[in-house]
Amino acid sequence: MENLVHDYIKNNNFDRPTLIMSLENLETNYNGFKAGMPSCHVHYAVKANPHPEILSKLHSLGSKFDAASAGEIDMCLTAGASPSNISFGNTVKRPQDIKYAYSKGIKLFAVDSIEEVEKVAEHAPGSQVFVRVLVRSTEAEWPLSRKFGCSSSMVPQVMEAARDAGLEVAGLSFHVGSQTRHPHMWLDTLDFVESIWNYSKEQGFDLWLLNAGGGFPSYYGVDITDSVEYCETLNKEIYDRFAGLKYLMIEPGRGMVANLGSIASEVLLVSTKTPGDPVRWLYLNIGRFSGLAETEKEAIKYRFFIPGKDADEKIEYIIAGPTCDSADVLYEEHKVLLSENLKCGDKIIIDNTGAYTTTYSTVAFNGFPPLEVIVI
Amino acid sequence: MENLVHDYIKNNNFDRPTLIMSLENLETNYNGFKAGMPSCHVHYAVKANPHPEILSKLHSLGSKFDAASAGEIDMCLTAGASPSNISFGNTVKRPQDIKYAYSKGIKLFAVDSIEEVEKVAEHAPGSQVFVRVLVRSTEAEWPLSRKFGCSSSMVPQVMEAARDAGLEVAGLSFHVGSQTRHPHMWLDTLDFVESIWNYSKEQGFDLWLLNAGGGFPSYYGVDITDSVEYCETLNKEIYDRFAGLKYLMIEPGRGMVANLGSIASEVLLVSTKTPGDPVRWLYLNIGRFSGLAETEKEAIKYRFFIPGKDADEKIEYIIAGPTCDSADVLYEEHKVLLSENLKCGDKIIIDNTGAYTTTYSTVAFNGFPPLEVIVI
């Protein structure tokens, strides 16, 4: 696939930054999860890339879906998904969206607080909920904030509130953090969640669902464990821990779609700030506000390929986007080595950009249009 | 105006986050700049808010414009602006955009590097350029990165390249940093730019244009100098320094439009992460990806008003947005005190949000639509 997409970019011209996707890898990716975790339920994290062709193909492969909003629920239904195969995993839901989801037949919701339990009980009575727990800092490349989940000491109160409100307490969910490169990096988190699982069962909650979330990595130049081996190891570690587990769900986003595509970009300017400075500034026609939002804090370190110039001598570049926003800098600390001969007009391939690029793009910041998408 | 917009929000219901704007303050703001700096040329920074009604009204008031892209140039022309009143101030321009601008009659461009000079000379021959200089760290609330401008030692080379390529070297530009609250905070920067100005004149460049950029503050709860007094002081400090100055231009963005509007938002969830924790988490239906991008690093500290609850006892909240993105947290370090009685469904007014909100919004992140705009 990589060659197919790269070749397409090499052989065509693009008037503006464009994500080129081939869906060839999608089946391989989906089957990789199922091969390593045969009994798991894959709920694709729609937010990673809600392109209709991705959703339709995943549906045809047997995938289920996790939606973050009513908008995403509609996309899944349009793709043919059955409501029973859609979870509403956002712990912060609009009451109207809960009501809407319930009216469509969706019965599985995430909660992490008593107020959210009350909202779900009111607008989706009798539904199943899993409680998201806040996990300790992990070894993910992009550890999550404290935004989602409640502390372990809060879990009993949330479960009791759910039970008292007539909801079915199905289980727990957590997120190990984005881009967790190897399965052993999950172990501390699994131990921690296991202790909450066991405690909850002791308290009389007959848990049967574990949502292990996402965190499955894509390759950005630093070693990752191969998908099947990754999932096999993780699967064993999970089943060794969670007694009574009947529904293991995972929510891959990046791990499912990042490698479907690359962005065709272009050099706008190469400059030096001070005479004699060996470091050059490289300005692209795409930046943090037109699709590369995940370069915030230089978290995701995309790889760049320059057709015809990858064999050149390399020098160090600071990379920035095209807007008049001074925060629109992609990499300044992270050292990026590229051809010493870069100049305005050169084509640049930004690899593995199928996840978290299209919908993150701003509507028109600085008058630039959003990221274009072509499926080949 | 504030009351007009706040009253509108109080008296209406909104299905999604909506920026309500009244243009009543626009004339006052524009006239404030002109009152304090009578001979200056106001080039409104279109990127701050390119709403057609803002551009048309500013045009009718006599304002000029600074554009960041071909898209913004078109917006200015549509609003009736003459090409001679539009500067193309992005130092990173697409060659096609330079050509387009030139074809429309635009003759004033920013440059900060030799390659950009070459691009302007090729696609907009004979045009006027000003050289953007990189200024030292300032006292701005949001100091700029090193992205724009060249160091003082690079300025002579850039000017020589421009002269040799047949361009007219008109002057210098700089940016003191976003949200510079008082005029005295400009003085070190003005001294520094003055030294470059004088050195350049000694080298035979007959500079006559100074683009003092933006940085004019809006009120976010911390004391700022009143606009007219601010501009009067700044005007005097500038004219005391820059000999031969014939065209003083400023590029207000935030200072021109922030106070035109407020966002109507809503509480989605109030929760506690741990039993007994006095700090609550407040989740809104708007976040960093649907208009409040300037809360990155908690840089801009918006003020919140809760109709009917502002007289309540106050407690501390951490504030976050509605998406499943863990980076979508608005304020965690910055202490925000709000009514202890907040709950899902409460209306929240986010004040002074007329600048850098609408176009920063993502197209559909997590399936949420972009920020809605209503002009009353």
pLDDT(A87) > 60: yes
**Domain membership flag for residue A44:** no
Span B89-101, average pLDDT: 97
Q: Are residues A199 and A267 both part of a single domain?
A: no
B359·A345 Cβ contact <8 A: no
**Domain membership flag for residue B215:** yes
Q: Are residues B138 and B113 both part of a single domain?
A: yes
The string of pLDDT tens digits covering residues B315-351 is: 999 999 999 999 999 999 998 999 999 999 999 999 9
**Domain membership flag for residue B86:** yes
Q: Are residues A120 and A185 both part of a single domain?
A: yes
Span B191-214, average pLDDT: 97
Q: Considering the entire predicted model, what is its pTM?
A: 0.94
Give the pLDDT confidence score for residue B329 in this predicted structure.
Answer: 96
Cβ atoms within 10 Å, residue A187:
15
Of A175, A275, A320, the CB nearest to B153: A275
**Domain membership flag for residue B38:** no
B271·A113 Cβ contact <8 A: yes
Cβ-based neighbours of B348, under 8 Å, separated by 6 or more: B264, B265, B266, B267, B284, B304, B305, B306
CB-count burial class (<10 Å; 0-12, 13-18, 19+) for A345: exposed
Q: Where does a domain end: A233, A252, A271?
A: A252
**Closest chain B C-alpha to A153 CA, distance in angstroms:** 6
Average pLDDT, chain A: 95
Q: Are residues B221 and B270 both part of a single domain?
A: no
pLDDT(B105) > 90: yes
Confidence of residue A100 (pLDDT cuts 50, 70, 90): very high
Domain that holds residue A83: 50-252
The string of pLDDT tens digits covering residues A139-149 is: 766 667 789 99
Alpha-carbon gap, residue B190 to B211, rounded angstroms: 11
A327·B50 Cβ contact <8 A: no
Q: Where does a domain end: A207, A222, A252?
A: A252
Q: Are residues B159 and B80 both part of a single domain?
A: yes
Q: Are residues B233 and B271 both part of a single domain?
A: no
CATH code, domain carrying A266:
2.40.37.10
| HEC assignment per residue over B48-74 | HCCCHHHHHHHHHHCCEEEECCHHHHH
Confidence of residue B258 (pLDDT cuts 50, 70, 90): very high
- Our count of domains for chain A comes to 2
Scanning every residue of chain A, which has its alpha carbon at the shortest distance from the alpha carbon of B284?
A92
**Domain membership flag for residue A1:** no
**Domain membership flag for residue A122:** yes
Q: Where does a domain end: B213, B228, B252?
A: B252
Share of chain B above pLDDT 90, in %: 93
Span B300-313, average pLDDT: 95
The string of pLDDT tens digits covering residues A22-34 is: 999 999 999 999 9
Alpha-carbon gap, residue A320 to B234, rounded angstroms: 31
Alpha-carbon gap, residue B320 to B323, rounded angstroms: 9
Q: Are residues B197 and B282 both part of a single domain?
A: no
CATH code, domain carrying A136:
3.20.20.10
Task: Quote the distance between the C-alpha of residue A8 and its chain's center.
Answer: 25
Q: Are residues B316 and B204 both part of a single domain?
A: no
Q: Are residues A269 and A243 both part of a single domain?
A: no
Alpha-carbon gap, residue A278 to A283, rounded angstroms: 16
Span B101-129, average pLDDT: 98
Tell whether ipTM is more than 0.85: yes
Residue of B250, B252, B255, B249 whose CA lies nearest to B226: B255
Is A324 known to be catalytic? yes
Alpha-carbon gap, residue A26 to A58, rounded angstroms: 8
Confidence of residue B1 (pLDDT cuts 50, 70, 90): very low
**Domain membership flag for residue A34:** no
Cβ-based neighbours of B313, under 8 Å, separated by 6 or more: B339, B340
Q: Are residues B192 and B217 both part of a single domain?
A: yes
Of B150, B151, B269, the CB nearest to A115: B269
Q: Are residues B207 and B349 both part of a single domain?
A: no
Q: Are residues B286 and B212 both part of a single domain?
A: no
The string of pLDDT tens digits covering residues A285-343 is: 999 999 999 999 999 999 999 999 999 999 999 999 999 999 999 999 998 999 999 99
Alpha-carbon gap, residue B363 to B357, rounded angstroms: 13
Scanning every residue of chain B, which has its alpha carbon at the shortest distance from the alpha carbon of A362?
B362
Q: Which residue's entry shows tokens 């001598």?
A: A313
**Domain membership flag for residue B23:** no
